[in-house]
Chain A
């Protein structure tokens, strides 16, 4: 039942952020932020409790996996919000977390018989790092959307609702860049942890599993984006579009592969 308390906090935070978007009173943004912090704390406690209770990292069904996804997005958002003060981003992050959690709550939370593979430290590192990376990419996508909205307003010279409420292109661009940089570092680290784990369990680093292939594609895409930024200065609009495309591929890697293709990651998203 703790998940409902968490969801209520996240939903209230969403309301706070939307009130901020429309009414432009800072107090709403602060309320939204603290509600999200409260939700995140409850969420952390719930996951920790689950971990101790079951004795393994709680990612053995779709319900738990989505819960961890929501948890990492909330956590990563709080860190970025603290670092960049991009207040309006909560309008994207809070509902995103809420939706993920509502979907999570829809799936039954029946424990599966797991062969003790979830006790391995490398696996926990692999899952947490990859999820933090993907949460960062999710935020990069949100920032990218905001960038496109703002750029469109400036280019088309129609200064409507969003123009007044969104921050400067420069801030959006640097925040997006920081999200992608963090996401890329965490994804790389998580993939390495996955390889080490695969070697330990299956005796090989790489087994041409669909999930592995698509993760590789995602990694290459973001590597290319960062490379282009550092060499020829891909920034602004193009970087924003790439961040959105990248996140679409991540969504496919995360969900599509598990449901449409077969592979050894499948059991984590069993109903």
Chain B
């Protein structure tokens, strides 16, 4: 009987070095699927590979064999002894596998809960499986359900709300001040990964001109070119405060780069247009006293970290709602999966009966040589009618929808009574 099995490793079970070794590009994924397709143990397969996980989702009749096939393939393809990664592997079967897929796609299993990329990555993986024709009835149904569940989790819970990175939190905060960044001028003082990321976020949100001030003018020019902005000299900062709206500061300076007195005179000249300072430097670049001036707002790295932590907690709370949606979906998938079981079981049962009948007829007819062809046919018809009558009630019982909870019990009993699993 076909079962859904998921095998793989993720950021919780394997260190990044191992995940890197086992990562599959899209082309490699195609090759892997080809190999799985040829294996007799694996009926359907798809492979998900992101920076945080490598997972194989399969439909198989023989879990152990299928798992071994995948392990051996990983080991040969990636030139890594099985023992290197075996301990990091997890194998989920049936409901557990289904739940795992739902959770991963809904970003409940992600390193940063609620990050939106994972759904797209699974969609891509599924596309590859479709193009290689390695997905069948089971995986198709499972994946469509998965996309549906992931969308539901995203829209019905706040799992993806609010920023969980420093630079994005700063941008979100800016939106509460300015509404839109259109035409807002940005001044970047110094350089640094987080600061530059914040500038990039702002550019993506259609911010206006970008100015870059650096103690070393040459570096400023290089950075400005990257943002298609303009470099200014460090001494010019005060003058430009009148024209810019968002100041992102990230220098190594031991003293304040912008002081309260500097800004105080500017506010009036700016006709009170709001000024937003984002201070990512340690020690701080922006005098915190500026926050007390009207229409100017200062957030330093600790403030932003505080926001991120709060948002993270929010997401974790929302994730609980997400888990409930996933649980519901797992139950409804199981119902579908079981209804699918009924037909093959009935077919197998009938086949078994027919095989027995055929064998017995053959044996009997060998001793009854005097019968005509018409008589042979009559005996055949009679046995077929008997099989039909005998199987009529059991078939009805298995097909009936009245007792969902017991269905698997009856199916299991039927398969055991008639030894259908051999």
Contact = CB atoms under 8 A, between A and B. Distances in A.
Interface stretch (A45-53, A96-104, A113-121, A228-236): A228-236
A89 to B, nearest CB: 15
B295 A170 contact: no
B329 interface: no
Given A236-B295, A237-B295, A159 B179 contact: no
Nearest to B272: A233
Given A150-B176, A163-B176, A168-B176, A233 B273 contact: yes
Contact of B306 (A155, A157, A168, A234): A157
Given A159-B310, A232-B268, A233-B271, A168 B178 contact: yes
B299 A157 contact: yes
A171 B294 contact: no
Interface string B379-395: 00000000000000000
A168 B175 contact: yes
B272 A170 contact: no
Contacts of B333: none
Interface residues of A, number: 18
A159 B177 contact: no
A170 B177 contact: yes
A170 B294 contact: no
Interface in B242-301: 268, 270-274, 291, 294-295, 297, 299
Contacts of A245: none
B138 interface: no
Contacts of B191: none
B10 to A, nearest CB: 32
B307 A170 contact: no
Contacts of B271: 232-233, 235
A155 B291 contact: yes
A167 B180 CA distance: 11
Interface in A139-155: 150, 154-155
A223 B129 CA distance: 70
Contacts of A232: 268, 271-272
B272 A167 contact: no
Contacts of A167: 179
Interface string B169-200: 00001011111100000000000000000000
Contact of A236 (B173, B274, B307, B310): B274
B73 to A, nearest CB: 48
Contacts of B93: none
A238 B176 contact: no
Contacts of B173: 154
A169 interface: yes
B273 A169 contact: no
Given A157-B306, A159-B310, A169-B274, A235 B176 contact: no
Interface string A152-181: 001101010001000111110000000000
Contacts of A237: 294-295
B303 interface: yes
B179 A171 contact: yes
B289 to A, nearest CB: 13
A234 B272 contact: yes
A207 to B, nearest CB: 40
B273 A157 contact: no
Contacts of A168: 175-179
Interface string A29-53: 0000000000000000000000000
Contacts of B273: 233, 235
Interface string A203-219: 00000000000000000
B380 to A, nearest CB: 66
A113 to B, nearest CB: 54
A240 to B, nearest CB: 11
Nearest to B299: A157
Interface in B297-320: 297, 299, 303, 306-307, 310
A238 B306 contact: no
Nearest to A158: B306
30 contacts: A150-B176, A154-B173, A154-B176, A154-B177, A154-B297, A155-B291, A155-B297, A157-B299, A157-B303, A157-B306, A159-B307, A167-B179, A168-B176, A168-B177, A168-B178, A169-B176, A169-B177, A169-B179, A169-B274, A170-B177, A170-B274, A171-B179, A232-B271, A233-B271, A233-B273, A234-B272, A235-B271, A235-B272, A235-B295, A238-B272
Interface of A: 150, 154-155, 157, 159, 163, 167-171, 232-238
What 10 A-B pairs come out closest when comparing CB atoms?
A: A233-B271, A168-B179, A170-B179, A233-B272, A236-B295, A235-B272, A171-B179, A157-B303, A169-B177, A170-B178
Given A170-B177, A236-B274, 20 more contacts: A150-B176, A154-B173, A154-B176, A154-B177, A155-B291, A157-B303, A167-B179, A168-B178, A169-B176, A169-B178, A169-B274, A170-B274, A232-B272, A233-B271, A233-B272, A236-B272, A236-B295, A237-B294, A238-B272, A238-B294
